Structure 1
Amino acid sequence: MSNNGNTVLGILVGAAAGAALGILFAPDKGSETRRRIAEEAEARRNQLAEKATELKDSIGNSISTQKGNLDSQVESIMSNASYKAEDVITTLEAKLKDLKERNKNLQKNSKSTKTAKTA
């Protein structure tokens, strides 16, 4: 977008300079030349203002679109992270249940061994 803006600006400046030089070297009276330069400058100023407004609107639209895309991507990442966290929690709960069961069995075996040794 920056290249497009620079290109348009370059074209407008070149056209204005060319028009001004053409008017200056034309065989007219000084008052007529000044009037034509003023008219041409006003026309170029209006064109430049119009192009600047178009560029501003285009950039605004692009920013809005990119913001919407970014919001959507962030929401997707957050959703995926939430599901992955839930999966991790479920896996950890299953491992904890398994470890508790193993600990319970080890404690039973330990008590059985101690009882057998004292008897």
Structure 2
Amino acid sequence: MSTGKMLLGIMAGAAAGAVLGILFAPDKGTETRRKIMERGNDYVSDLKEKFNDFIDNLTERYESVKDDASEYAQNPSYGADDFQKDVRSQL
């Protein structure tokens, strides 16, 4: 299972548990709805932060591979095998 799918599953399980815990709490309806909204907003913020971190990491790797490709294109003494090894080491 990929890390992304596992992370999504954990977050979905935590969200479901939090919602069920709040729904069965002995609070007024308005208080319960407020708590659900707060928790939902917290989860959305966390998910956005993790997504942005993922995009930043992906962008860094893309730039690195792009730089390597440019370097290899300018220096024909490197072989395709060397380029492939460098790219795989970055992934």
- Normalised to the residue count of structure 2, the TM-score between the two structures is 0.73
Q: Which runs of 5+ in 2 are unaligned?
A: 79-91
Which one has the bigger helix percentage?
1
Unaligned ranges ≥5, structure 1 = 82-119
Instruction: Name the aligned partner's letter for residue 17 of structure 1.
Output: A
For normalisation by structure 1, the TM-score amounts to 0.57
Query: After the TM superposition, which parts of structure 1 deviate over 3 Å for at least 4 consecutive aligned residues?
Result: none
Count of matched residue positions in the alignment of Structure 1 and Structure 2:
77
Give a deviation string over 1:57-90, Cα, whole Å, max 9, x none.
11111111111122223333xx339xxxxxxxxx
Residues 1:45 and 2:44 aligned together: yes
Q: Which moved more, 1:4-13 or 1:42-51?
A: 4-13
Q: Which has the larger radius of gyration?
A: 1
- How large is the Cα RMSD of the aligned pairs? 1.8
Give the equivalent residue in structure 2 for 1:72: 71
Percent identity, aligned pairs only, is 40
Amino acid at match of 2:12: V
Instruction: Report the equivalent of 2:16.
Output: 17
Task: Call closer, same or farther: CA 1:70–1:49 in 2, change over 3 Å.
Answer: same
